[in-house]
A = this chain, B = another copy of it.
Amino acid sequence: MAYPAELDSSASTGIAPAFSPLYQQIKGLMLKSLQAGEWKPGESIPSEVELAVRFRVSQGTVRKAIDELAAENLLMRRQGKGTFVATHAEQHVRYRFLKLIPDDGDPSSEGPAQRAFIDCKRLRAAADTARALGLRSGDPILQLRRVLSFANQPTILEDIWLPGGPFKGLTAERLSAYHGPMYALFETEFGVRMVRAQEKLRAVLPDPDQSALLKVAQNTPLLSVERIAFTYDDKAMELRRGLYRTDKHYYRNELN
């Protein structure tokens, strides 16, 4: 269990010493362990004292590294139990990235979403899709389309694009068979953990296909939500275009 101890001696680089605190370097090493799958979603990581020994620093320094990773929702601390790798499979963080809330404000009032997969095909990336995912035009990708219904009303229409490589073997059947958040399945089946995402929102009108699938009139304004989701290494691993009905729901955002 000896460790490379590749901590920045801050010499020999010559140009741009760029002071990096110890705890940042520890954080980087821990990120590597997460990324490499040494610590898997839902599992506990070694205790603070163990890590302090391993990295040859004080417990306080390890602590500060963990603090930051916890603040970024990569780790979860539980007093008395340990520190755990965050996961999309837990009850109370499910749908962490879904900000659409029913008007009454209680997400549990309408029960879980009903999901219907309309489509799942493999094809070659178009230019814009490729760019968004950091691929090259023509690279193999996977395209999904699904409808989410709440209280038996179609509410969300989503088109999803995934890079073909990491998601080899993903089929409509496996998606339909899986109960729980899609990102939880990505974690367990493909080792892809979505860590962070950015969304671009617009108000749009649906095209005929879309209005039919959502069962709304064509002049119904809908919320367009384009999401790019990133993994540990800040690599884009999913492009998603959602169309949200907002007559009985709203998109909630907190500003700080």
Contacts and interface: CB of A to CB of B under 8 A. Distances in A.
**Chain A's interface: helix, strand, loop or mixed, by majority?**
strand
A7 interface: no
Contacts of A256: 72-73, 196
Contacts of A224: 203
A20 to B, nearest CB: 15
A251 interface: yes
Contact of A223 (B72, B73, B198, B202): B202
A71 B72 CA distance: 12
What band does the interface of chain A fall in when counting residues whose beta carbon is under 8 Å from B? 20 to 34
A71 B200 CA distance: 25
Interface in A53-84: 71-73
Nearest to A67: B67
A73 to B, nearest CB: 6
Contacts of A246: 201-204
A255 B203 contact: no
A253 interface: yes
A254 interface: yes
Contact of A222 (B99, B200, B203): B203
A120 interface: no
Nearest to A252: B200
Q: Which interface residue of A198, A201, A246 has the most chain B CB atoms within 10 A?
A: A201
B253 A201 contact: yes
A108 interface: no
Interface of A: 71-73, 96-97, 99, 196-205, 219, 221-224, 227, 244, 246, 250-256
